[in-house]
């Protein structure tokens, strides 16, 4: 049986970033993911903010990795062709007395080296953010805050990691781990794997993986965050990310810009027990709306076009990133709550350092492909360019999702790059994510999937087994020929 | 006996009152046009509906060909007719309104296509 | 840039009627753009009867109704039909860009008629709380899956909203052997035509819950059940009336919205509430030489009205072209 050098459990942004970073070295690497596609855990449902480092204490792991991750993300996004945009953030206050809190946030951030911080006053705000509530008296401006598409980041990291030799196994849920000698034997729903080092990046389920090797002191609790997307027509509602003052458990309800253009409001922060409870609630909606309207009064309930809930994996106040001496070779990377998306590239470097300290020899490959073949998104092109693309390949002119202008060619390309479900297609291409929510394009997408994946339509799922779209087909009933 | 019903012969949906004696309708009121009276009589004495559905095709441009009965059939035959229709498979091009099955289920109606399928 | 006398966007009943009327009133250069592979628009999936009672004095199905117009159009060589052609850009000078396989075209229209139809209001627009599993369908999508693709998207169905498509689909699911557990309507009366309540629900003894509202959708991968409660006059839940319905499918039939993003892009004055153009007279807009007809203009109950009014728009466009200097 093949012996891997490193196996990563979990194909979220943490796992994918590590896989890509490790793929620079002469190592045999595999990533195991329980869902049928990557990024179906926490990494698919979050705010997509690349935080500057203004939200966490300078002495915390979160704080340090966030500031570093923010810097690293830029280079990474460029190499992979991910849509990172630096938009800047404002932390706003409604009372003069709150200025002291802004100053202490600024001090902490400066200690982390966050550049460009600036206190801005009413006239500045009026000029740069005309839609903000007139009750806002001042704000701390952090220009390095950015936005990214969180799932596309995961897919792009993984694609590039694969290009550099990482083996990725989806629908492989890890169910058992033993250490028969100086390697791990990992049982999964897709077979047995062996590896010298093991990284646990299983998100919400990180405690269960740790439990499999007898580590009991990690407990992960889900903290729910509901988010509400607004119509794209409001793309320019704000020019920056707008935060209230943070509370002890959360950053508060934010008015967010997203890389797809739709503004978003949220997230709530609700502690719970059920790691699969992704339901949104009336209370959540009302809270988000009321809080967002305090920041930007023009926001209306009717502007909402989509919503979702995500669960943060909380294991105490900070991340847990450590080598387990009681189980040599195992590195836990768990409790990666917010701002885990931002931190991912920095976490990857930190973990590599831990691996080196614990005896993994790291030799750079002669040839590392740092770039990824770009994905042509018709909607992102100016009309003239789009025309050229269509003339070169007719299928780009065959529009499937008309709300978002996604062509048959893009759907096929997404499938070629690993999409096997309707959600996977949506996350990669935006098809079904527009105003009609797939009302018009779902059938066509299913047909293209059936063709490309060589499946009957009845086996096509939203996000894996159990989420089939179709219950029955006439095909199975008809017999007589007229 | 008096029976209330709603005319479905057109989108107006007039509320009808039918007076019934010896199983037959003797008087209808509430209808805005003569079709309402006809409908009430039919509905009480022998309720009927047009059935529309689709049949599977083979080797044609569309996967399903829409079909209908060219005249109403008794309401209590509808589900049986559906199970017959589900068994059919069309493997020749058809024009709109082309008869697929004459005297469908011996009901005195034809099953016809409602779209040209090449 | 290429210039055409009359461009019509949309090959549904509105566009078809407008094209025919414009031709009959003397327009001899007409380009009809349709994004689908066929003409007929939404009528193609409306295989039920109920079309043409006024216009043809016969009760036709959707495809039959459409085909009567399509056959005429196909015989008129002055009407050029371009299928699989999606208009993506429009300016106030009536310059439009459309995409089709292998080509992107930009041209100006001397006169322009938009018959772009409507889309369904979604679960998201009425913000039904709960999870987002497979099994939640806009009613029109379910209709397309069953009628066009021969695929049955559910076996135990709860329908939210009693719009006509929802009612029609209640019958269609029943005929295909699925069980319709309930139609839930928040108002006191059905939103659809009474005749559809009678022939789609009553005929099959399907329950219609008026003055009820859905509180939550449950299910992880596939819909498992919904929570429903009765509401009072202010549409607020009446305590103690909650109940659950097990189902694998939720259909959303809570109304239609005109599709007018293109004219909005061109700067036509819009009525934000209805998403239709501000209009002083039937089909007119704030841009001279640009008309909107059919469900894009306002949501019609029956297609006959669409045909009548869209033909009028075609006639207006013909007059406009005649009077151009
Ligand atoms: C509402 C919300 C908003 C947020 N906003 C932001 C933000 O704006 N900016 C930011 O920086 N961060 C944000 N975060 C935090 C960020 O989303 C997370 O920190 C990050 O996505 C965590 O990634 P992960 O890879 O650790 O976890 P995940 O993405 O959950 O990945 C773990 C993976 O492990 C898999 N797995 C689990 N068990 C097994 C097993 N037994 N075998 C195999 N595979 C297994 C899971 O299926 C999953 O795919 C937000 C979080 C939430 C909930
Ligand atoms: S009585 Fe006449 S007008 Fe009234 S619903 Fe029946 S057909 Fe229509």
CATH assignment at residue B73: 3.10.530.10
Residue B78 is assigned to a structural domain of this protein: yes
Which residue is closest in CA terms to ligand 1's atom 41?
A: A174
Q: For residue A478, name the pLDDT band (cuts at 50, 70, 90).
A: low
The pLDDT, as a whole number, for residue A439 is: 87
The alpha carbon of A111 and the centre of ligand 1 are apart by a number of angstroms equal to: 27
| Probe target for ligand 2 pocket from B4, B9, B11, B40, with the most ligand atoms within 8 Å of CB | B9
* Mean pLDDT within A140-157: 97
Tell me chain A's radius of gyration from C-alpha atoms.
Answer: 23
* Mean pLDDT within A186-213: 98
The pLDDT, as a whole number, for residue A403 is: 87
The Cα A355–Cα A329 span in angstroms is 8
Residue in C85, C114, C112 with CA at minimum distance from that of residue C101: C85
> How distant is the Cα of B47 from the closest Cα of chain A, in angstroms?
29
Residue in A421, A48, A9, A15 with CA at minimum distance from that of residue A225: A48
Q: Which chains touch A (3 or more CB pairs under 8 A)?
A: B, C
The pLDDT, as a whole number, for residue A247 is: 81
* Residues B37 and B59 placed together within one structural domain of the fold: no
Q: For residue A436, name the pLDDT band (cuts at 50, 70, 90).
A: confident
Show residues of chain A in contact with B56, CB under 8 Å: 474-475, 478
Q: What CATH architecture is A378-476?
A: Orthogonal Bundle (1.10)
pLDDT at A366 over 90: yes
The pLDDT, as a whole number, for residue A355 is: 98
Query: Of all helices (H) and strands (E), which one includes residue B48?
Result: strand B48-49
The alpha carbon of C16 and the centre of ligand 2 are apart by a number of angstroms equal to: 28
CB-CB under 8 Å, A480 with B88: yes
Query: Which among B7, B50, B62 has CB closest to C49?
Result: B50
Cβ of A464 below 6 Å from ligand 1:
no
The alpha carbon of B10 and the centre of ligand 2 are apart by a number of angstroms equal to: 5
Residue B93 is assigned to a structural domain of this protein: yes
CA nearest to C264 within chain A: A233
Whether chain A has a CB inside 8 Å of the CB on B90: the answer is yes
* Residues C100 and C162 placed together within one structural domain of the fold: no
Q: Which chains touch C (3 or more CB pairs under 8 A)?
A: A, B
Assessment of whether the complete model's pTM goes beyond 0.90:
yes
CA angle B30, B34, B37 (to 5 degrees): 60
The pLDDT, as a whole number, for residue A224 is: 97
Query: Which among B86, B92, B100 has CB closest to A478?
Result: B86
CB-CB under 8 Å, C175 with B11: no
Query: Of residues A222 and A381, which shows the higher confidence score?
Result: A222
Residue in B64, B96, B92 with CA at minimum distance from that of residue C66: B96
Judge whether C316 and C280 are in contact, CB under 8 Å.
no
Query: Which among B86, B91, B101 has CB closest to A477?
Result: B86
The Cα A346–Cα A135 span in angstroms is 38
The Cα C230–Cα C208 span in angstroms is 12
Judge whether A176 and A186 are in contact, CB under 8 Å.
yes
Domain with C32 in it: 2-119+256-322
Structure tokens at B8: 């479905």
Judge whether C250 and C217 are in contact, CB under 8 Å.
yes
* Residues C152 and C98 placed together within one structural domain of the fold: no
Best of C129, C133, C136, C166 to disrupt the A interface (most A CBs within 10 Å) is: C129
Strand partners, A270: A224
Beta strands in A10-149 (DSSP E): 29-32, 49-50, 85-86, 89-93, 118-121, 138-142, 146-147
* Residues C128 and C64 placed together within one structural domain of the fold: no
User: What's the distance, CA A193 to chain centroid?
Assistant: 27
Q: Which chains touch B (3 or more CB pairs under 8 A)?
A: A, C
The pLDDT, as a whole number, for residue A482 is: 52
Residue extent(s) of CATH 1.10.10.1100 domains in chain A: 378-476
| Probe target for ligand 1 pocket from A341, A342, A421, A465, with the most ligand atoms within 8 Å of CB | A341
pLDDT at B46 over 60: yes
* Residues B25 and B40 placed together within one structural domain of the fold: yes
Helix extents (H) in chain B: 34-45, 78-86
Beta-carbon contacts of C223 under 8 Å, excluding residues fewer than 6 positions away, are: C133, C134, C135, C136, C217, C247, C248, C249, C250
Q: For residue A480, name the pLDDT band (cuts at 50, 70, 90).
A: low
Residue in A251, A219, A213, A417 with CA at minimum distance from that of residue A331: A213
* Residues B57 and B97 placed together within one structural domain of the fold: yes
Residue extent(s) of CATH 3.50.50.60 domains in chain A: 1-83+147-218+315-374
> How distant is the Cα of B66 from the closest Cα of chain C, in angstroms?
6
Regions of chain C where pLDDT drops below 50: none
CA nearest to B115 within chain C: C63
Residue B118 is assigned to a structural domain of this protein: no
Query: Which among C145, C220, C249 has CB closest to A276?
Result: C220
* Residues C238 and C126 placed together within one structural domain of the fold: yes
* Residues B41 and B84 placed together within one structural domain of the fold: no
* Residues B74 and B106 placed together within one structural domain of the fold: yes
Whether chain A has a CB inside 8 Å of the CB on B86: the answer is yes
* Proportion of chain A above pLDDT 90, given as a percent: 90
Question: Is A1-83+147-218+315-374 CATH 3.60.15.10?
Answer: no
The Cα A57–Cα A61 span in angstroms is 9
CA angle C284, C288, C292 (to 5 degrees): 35
* Residues C247 and C126 placed together within one structural domain of the fold: yes
* pLDDT tens digits, one per residue of A2-61: 999 999 999 999 999 999 999 999 999 999 999 999 999 999 999 999 999 999 999 999
* Residues C268 and C162 placed together within one structural domain of the fold: no
Averaged pLDDT score across all residues of chain A: 95
Q: Which CATH number fits domain A89-143+221-312: 3.30.9.10, 3.20.20.105, 3.10.105.10, 3.40.1010.10?
A: 3.30.9.10
* Proportion of chain A above pLDDT 70, given as a percent: 99
Tell me chain B's radius of gyration from C-alpha atoms.
Answer: 18
The pLDDT, as a whole number, for residue C290 is: 97
CB-CB under 8 Å, C248 with A467: no
Q: Among residues C252, C269, C290, which one ends one of the domains? A: C252
The pLDDT, as a whole number, for residue A250 is: 75
* pLDDT tens digits, one per residue of C95-145: 999 999 999 999 999 999 999 999 999 999 999 999 999 999 999 999 999
* Residues B33 and B64 placed together within one structural domain of the fold: no
Which residue is closest in CA terms to ligand 1's atom 37?
A: A202
Judge whether A281 and A287 are in contact, CB under 8 Å.
no
Domain with B106 in it: 52-113
pLDDT at A285 over 60: yes
Q: For residue B24, name the pLDDT band (cuts at 50, 70, 90).
A: confident
* Residues C192 and C311 placed together within one structural domain of the fold: no
Indicate which ligand has the atom closest to the C-alpha of A227. 1
* Residues B38 and B63 placed together within one structural domain of the fold: no
pLDDT at A102 over 60: yes
The pLDDT, as a whole number, for residue A374 is: 86
- A51 carries an active-site annotation: yes
Show residues of chain B in contact with A477, CB under 8 Å: 86-87
Query: Which among B11, B62, B79 has CB closest to C195?
Result: B11
> How distant is the Cα of B86 from the closest Cα of chain A, in angstroms?
6
* Residues C262 and C240 placed together within one structural domain of the fold: no
* Residues C280 and C215 placed together within one structural domain of the fold: no
Q: Is C175 exposed, middle or buried (0-12, 13-18, 19+ CB in 10 A)?
A: buried
Whether chain A has a CB inside 8 Å of the CB on B60: the answer is no
* Residues C135 and C248 placed together within one structural domain of the fold: yes
Q: Among residues C252, C278, C307, which one ends one of the domains? A: C252
pLDDT at A179 over 70: yes
Q: For residue A479, name the pLDDT band (cuts at 50, 70, 90).
A: low
Which residue is closest in CA terms to ligand 1's atom 50?
A: A46
pLDDT at A286 over 70: yes
Show residues of chain C in contact with B62, CB under 8 Å: 148
The Cα C304–Cα B12 span in angstroms is 14
Q: Residue C219 belongs to a domain with what CATH number? A: 3.50.50.60
Query: Of residues B24 and A185, which shows the higher confidence score?
Result: A185
CB-CB under 8 Å, C64 with B8: no
* Residues C114 and C142 placed together within one structural domain of the fold: no
Beta strands in A148-303 (DSSP E): 167-169, 174-178, 184-188, 191-200, 221-230, 241-243, 254-256, 264-266, 270-271
Residue from A51, A172, A240, A377 carrying the catalytic annotation: A51
> Total domain count for chain B?
2
* Residues B36 and B56 placed together within one structural domain of the fold: no
> Total domain count for chain C?
2
Show residues of chain B in contact with A482, CB under 8 Å: 55, 88-92, 100-101
């Amino acid at each position: 049986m093949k012996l891997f050098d490193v196996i990563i459990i979990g194909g979220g942004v943490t796992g994918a970033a590590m896989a890509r970073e490790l793929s620079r070295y002469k190592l045999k690497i595999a990533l195991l993911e329980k869902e049928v596609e990557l990024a179906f855990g926490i990494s698919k449902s979050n705010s997509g903010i690349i935080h500057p480092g203004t939200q966490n204490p300078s002495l915390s792991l979160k704080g340090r990795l966030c500031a570093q991750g923010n810097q690293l993300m830029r280079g990474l996004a460029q190499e992979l062709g991910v849509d990172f945009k630096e938009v800047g953030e404002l932390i706003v206050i409604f009372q003069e007395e709150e200025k002291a809190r802004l100053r202490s946030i600024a001090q902490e951030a400066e200690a982390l080296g966050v550049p460009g911080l600036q206190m801005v006053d009413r006239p500045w705000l009026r000029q740069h953010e005309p839609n903000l509530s007139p009750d806002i008296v001042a704000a701390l401006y952090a220009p390095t805050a950015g936005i990214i598409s969180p799932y596309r980041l995961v897919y792009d990291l993984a694609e590039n990691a694969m290009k550099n030799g990482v083996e990725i196994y989806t629908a492989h849920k890890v169910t058992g781990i033993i250490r028969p000698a100086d390697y791990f034997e990992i049982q999964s729903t897709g077979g047995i794997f062996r590896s010298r080092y093991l990284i646990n990046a299983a998100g919400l389920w990180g405690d269960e993986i740790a439990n499999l090797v007898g580590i009991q002191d990690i407990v992960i609790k889900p903290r729910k965050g509901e988010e509400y997307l607004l119509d794209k027509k409001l793309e320019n509602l704000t020019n920056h990310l707008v935060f209230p003052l943070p509370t002890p458990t959360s950053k508060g309800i934010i008015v967010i810009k997203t890389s797809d253009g739709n503004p978003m409001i949220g997230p709530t922060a609700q502690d719970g027990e059920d790691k699969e409870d992704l339901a949104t609630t009336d209370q959540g909606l009302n809270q988000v709306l009321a809080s967002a309207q305090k920041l930007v009064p023009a926001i209306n309930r009717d502007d909402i076009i989509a919503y979702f809930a995500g669960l943060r994996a909380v294991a105490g106040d900070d991340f847990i990133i450590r080598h387990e001496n009681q189980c040599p070779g195992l590195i836990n990377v768990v409790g990666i709550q917010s701002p885990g998306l931002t931190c991912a590239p920095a976490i990857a470097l930190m973990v590599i350092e831990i691996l080196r300290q614990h005896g993994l020899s790291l030799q750079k490959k002669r040839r590392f492909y740092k770039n990824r073949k770009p994905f042509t998104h018709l909607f992102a092109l100016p009309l003239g360019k789009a025309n050229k693309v269509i003339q070169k390949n007719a299928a780009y002119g065959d529009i499937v999702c008309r709300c978002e202008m996604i062509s048959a060619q893009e759907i096929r390309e997404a499938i070629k790059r690993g999409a096997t479900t309707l959600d996977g297609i949506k996350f990669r291409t935006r098809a079904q994510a527009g105003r009609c929510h797939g009302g018009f394009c779902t059938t066509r997408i299913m047909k293209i999937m059936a063709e490309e994946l060589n499946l009957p339509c009845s086996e096509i799922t939203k996000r894996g087994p159990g989420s089939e779209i179709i219950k029955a087909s006439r095909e199975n009933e008809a017999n007589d020929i007229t | 006996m008096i029976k209330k019903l709603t005319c479905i012969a057109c989108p107006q949906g007039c509320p009808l009152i039918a007076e019934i004696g010896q199983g037959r309708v003797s008087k209808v009121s509430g209808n805005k046009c003569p079709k309402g009276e006809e409908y009430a009589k039919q509905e009480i004495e022998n309720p009927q509906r047009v059935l529309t559905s689709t049949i599977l095709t083979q080797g044609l441009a569309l996967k399903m060909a829409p079909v209908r009965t060219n005249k109403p059939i008794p309401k209590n035959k509808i589900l049986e007719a559906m199970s017959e229709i589900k068994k059919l498979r069309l493997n020749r091009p058809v024009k709109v309104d082309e008869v697929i099955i004459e005297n469908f289920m011996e009901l005195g109606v034809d099953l016809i296509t409602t779209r040209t399928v090449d | 840039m290429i210039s055409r006398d009359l461009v019509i966007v949309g090959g549904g009943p509105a566009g078809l009627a407008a094209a025919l009327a414009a031709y009959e009133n003397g327009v001899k250069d007409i380009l009809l753009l349709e994004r689908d592979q066929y003409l007929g628009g939404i009528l193609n999936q409306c295989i039920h009867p109920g079309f043409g009672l006024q216009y043809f004095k016969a009760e036709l199905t959707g495809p039959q109704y459409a085909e009567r117009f399509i056959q005429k159009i196909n015989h008129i060589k002055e009407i050029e039909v371009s299928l699989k052609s999606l208009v993506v850009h429009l300016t106030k000078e009536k310059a439009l860009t459309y995409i089709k396989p292998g080509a992107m075209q930009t041209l100006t229209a001397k006169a322009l008629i938009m018959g772009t139809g409507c889309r369904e209001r979604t679960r998201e627009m009425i913000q039904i709380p709960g999870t987002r599993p497979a099994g939640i369908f806009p009613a029109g999508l379910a209709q397309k899956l069953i009628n066009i693709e021969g695929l049955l998207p559910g076996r135990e169905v709860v329908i939210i909203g009693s719009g006509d498509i929802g009612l029609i689909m209640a019958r269609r699911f029943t005929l295909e052997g699925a069980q319709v557990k309930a139609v839930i309507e928040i108002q006191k009366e059905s939103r659809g035509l009474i005749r559809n309540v009678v022939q789609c629900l009553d005929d099959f003894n399907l329950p219609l819950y008026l003055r009820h509202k859905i509180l939550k959708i449950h299910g992880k991968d596939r819909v498992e059940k919904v929570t429903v409660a009765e509401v009072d006059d202010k549409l607020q839940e009446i305590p103690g009336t909650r109940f659950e319905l097990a189902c694998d499918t939720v259909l959303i039939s809570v109304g239609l919205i005109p599709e007018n993003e293109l004219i909005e892009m061109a700067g036509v004055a819009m009525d934000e509430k209805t998403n239709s153009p501000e209009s002083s007279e039937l089909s007119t807009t704030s841009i001279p030489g640009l008309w909107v007809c059919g469900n894009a203009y306002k949501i019609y109950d029956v297609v006959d009205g669409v045909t009548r009014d869209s033909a009028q728009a075609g006639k207006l466009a013909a007059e406009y072209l005649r009077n151009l200097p």
